[in-house]
A = this chain, B = another copy of it.
Amino acid sequence: MKFLTDYMTFHTKKRREFINITRDVIRVLEKSGIREGMVLVSAMHITSGVFINDAEPGLHRDIEEWLLKLIPEGHDYYHHRTGEVNGDAHLRNLLIGHQVIVPVTDEKLDLGPWQQVFYAEFDGQRSKKLIIKAMGE
């Protein structure tokens, strides 16, 4: 069995950003030499997410507005009594999820034609880490 573990670090300019990391996942897969298996892509923070969807800017605005509606930004979260101000980012992490598994078949990511992998920063402007782990044969 082969394994390749790689890490990415993000330091976004804005508090919230969606970053297309599909090419990075492909790069790790190619370096691994794996023909069959999977790649786990997983945020190492509790205020970030990982999702697969379309690389369409309008849709990304829709996702942002929808998250703002379901998870109010200025709410007086209990979590803020610790001094933190990112309660909303924790809830976004739970709603969007922090990881995806990409299947690998015949040396390629076995994704549909519109599926792209995104890192979702919900509380950036500081260093955040992601793991990409390829596993298979």
Q: Which residues of A approach B to under 8 Å, CB–CB?
A: 1, 3, 5, 36-38, 40, 42-46, 51-54, 56-59, 61-63, 65-66, 70-71, 77-82, 87, 90-91, 93-101, 103, 105, 110-112, 114-115, 129, 131, 133, 135-137
Contacts and interface: CB of A to CB of B under 8 A. Distances in A.
Nearest to A54: B46
Given A42-B101, A103-B131, A115-B44, A66 B61 contact: no
A57 B84 CA distance: 13
A46 to B, nearest CB: 5
Q: How many copies does the complex hold?
A: 3
Contact of A112 (B40, B44, B96): B44
B133 A110 contact: yes
B101 A1 contact: no
A91 B66 contact: yes
Contact of A115 (B5, B37, B46): B46
A52 to B, nearest CB: 6
